[in-house]
């Protein structure tokens, strides 16, 4: 029964982690990271590590991500993909490095 809950949460975590990497907007990446951290808290809860799940939500998905979003908004970052336009092979090398 736990596997029926674990696999969708794990798949959601992987999809959101890819959203963090490939999202062009820094705010969108941070939102995907929050979702991934909440999914990780769900995995901790399934492993009966409820204390770690609560810490994951309070400390990482709450406090740390508020700081990340504050810095992103303070720096006024725009969704810019100049690194991919300057060197198209960077996308290929990034994917290759991620697979290793």
Number of other CB atoms surrounding residue 94 within 10 Å: 14
Average pLDDT value for residue range 38-47: 95
Residue 42, judged by CB atoms within 10 A of its CB (0-12, 13-18, 19+), counts as buried
Tell me how many domains the chain contains: 1
Q: What 8-state DSSP symbol labels residue 17?
A: H
Q: Taking 80 as the threshold, does the pLDDT of residue 37 lie above it?
A: yes
The enclosing domain of 91 has a CATH number of: 1.20.120.1200
From residue 55, alpha-carbon distances to 28, 44, 50, 63, 82 in Å are: 23, 10, 9, 10, 37
Q: Residue 46's pLDDT band (boundaries 50, 70, 90)?
A: very high
pLDDT at 57 over 80: yes
Given the structure tokens 């309070």, which residue do they identify?
58
Full domain range(s) for residue 44 = 2-99
């Amino acid at each position: 029964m736990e596997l029926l809950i674990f696999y969708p949460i794990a798949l959601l975590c992987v999809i959101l982690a890819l959203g963090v990497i490939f999202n062009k907007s820094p705010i969108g990446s941070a939102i995907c990271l929050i979702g991934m951290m909440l999914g990780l808290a769900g995995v901790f809860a399934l492993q009966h590590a409820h204390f770690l799940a609560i810490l994951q939500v309070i400390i990482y998905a709450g406090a740390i991500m508020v700081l990340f979003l504050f810095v992103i908004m303070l720096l006024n970052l725009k969704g810019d993909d100049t690194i991919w336009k300057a060197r198209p092979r960077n996308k290929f090398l990034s994917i290759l490095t991620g697979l290793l």
